[in-house]
């Protein structure tokens, strides 16, 4: 993972990507007990993308393949980790990248989305594994419920949250 993050950081230093943050299962691992995952989700902004209206991940792929990365389906394998680069597609994801927490992995600096944003994104995505992850955050008391409520309300996810509560939390609180 250290080599993976160093490659991503170099890409950022070279201006290929702007701000980035780790999300998904690896991001959740920052707050939770580790659970098996095979890939790394990186939400990254692209400099100039909004100015042109054209968005392409090609510069990322070109940069990393020229340094030994291998494309594998929707992933690019860097430092032994299949990495999926995602562009923040809505205000919630943009905020999650902007407010990510700084940390490091074996000395390699990186940024991880906040627990509240990880939960809100999982809620918005809404697959079974996302619901499972939300429950892990709640069971392990790894999320600030007031902050989470704020994120949920500001990003129009109250109806989804209410539905999630009815389905999974009824009778547990």
Sign for the pseudo-dihedral over CA of 1, 114, 84, 8: negative
DSSP 3-35: HHHHHHHHHHHTTSS-SEEEEHHHHHHTTS---
Decide whether 57 or 77 has the Cβ nearer to another protein: 77
Decide whether 3 or 87 has the Cβ nearer to another protein: 3
In the complex, least distance from residue 75 CB atom to another protein, rounded to whole angstroms: 13
Binding-residue pattern over the window 132 to 161 for another protein, x denoting contact by CB under 8 A? -------xx-x-------------------
Per rule CB under 8 A, is residue 56 in the interface with another protein? no
In the complex, least distance from residue 29 CB atom to another protein, rounded to whole angstroms: 5
Question: 98-117: which residues touch another protein (CB under 8 A)?
Answer: 103-106, 112
Q: Which stretch binds another protein (CB under 8 A): 28-36, 62-70, 86-94, 119-127?
A: 28-36
Pair of tokens at residue 8: 């991503």
Decide whether 57 or 101 has the Cβ nearer to another protein: 101
Q: Are 109 and 12 in contact (CB under 8 A)?
A: no
Q: Are 60 and 11 in contact (CB under 8 A)?
A: yes
Per rule CB under 8 A, is residue 38 in the interface with another protein? yes
Per rule CB under 8 A, is residue 73 in the interface with another protein? no
Q: Which residue has the tokens 């959740």?
A: 28
In the chain, the N- to C-terminal Cα span, in Å, equals: 38
Q: What angle do CA 15, 21, 27 make, to 5 degrees?
A: 150
Per rule CB under 8 A, is residue 8 in the interface with another protein? no
Decide whether 19 or 142 has the Cβ nearer to another protein: 142
For the chain, helix (H) and strand (E) counts, in that order, are 9, 7
Binding region for another protein (CB under 8 A): 1, 26, 29-38, 80, 103-106, 112, 139-140, 142
């Amino acid at each position: 993972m250290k080599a993976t993050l160093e490659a991503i950081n170099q890409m950022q230093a070279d201006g290929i990507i702007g701000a980035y943050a780790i999300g998904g299962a690896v991001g959740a691992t920052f707050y939770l007990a580790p659970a098996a995952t095979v890939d790394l989700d990186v939400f990254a902004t692209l400099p100039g993308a909004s100015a042109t209206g054209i968005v392409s991940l090609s510069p990322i792929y070109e940069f990393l393949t020229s340094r030994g990365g291998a494309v594998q389906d929707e992933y690019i394998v860097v430092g032994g980790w299949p990495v999926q680069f995602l562009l923040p597609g809505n205000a919630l994801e943009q905020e999650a990248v902007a407010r990510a927490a700084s940390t490091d992995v074996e000395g390699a600096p990186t940024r991880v989305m906040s627990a509240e944003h990880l939960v809100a994104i999982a809620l918005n995505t809404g697959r079974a594994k996302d619901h499972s992850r939300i429950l892990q955050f709640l069971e392990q008391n790894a999320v600030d419920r007031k902050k989470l409520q704020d994120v949920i309300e500001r990003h129009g996810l109250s109806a989804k949250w209410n539905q999630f509560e009815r389905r999974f939390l009824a009778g547990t609180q």
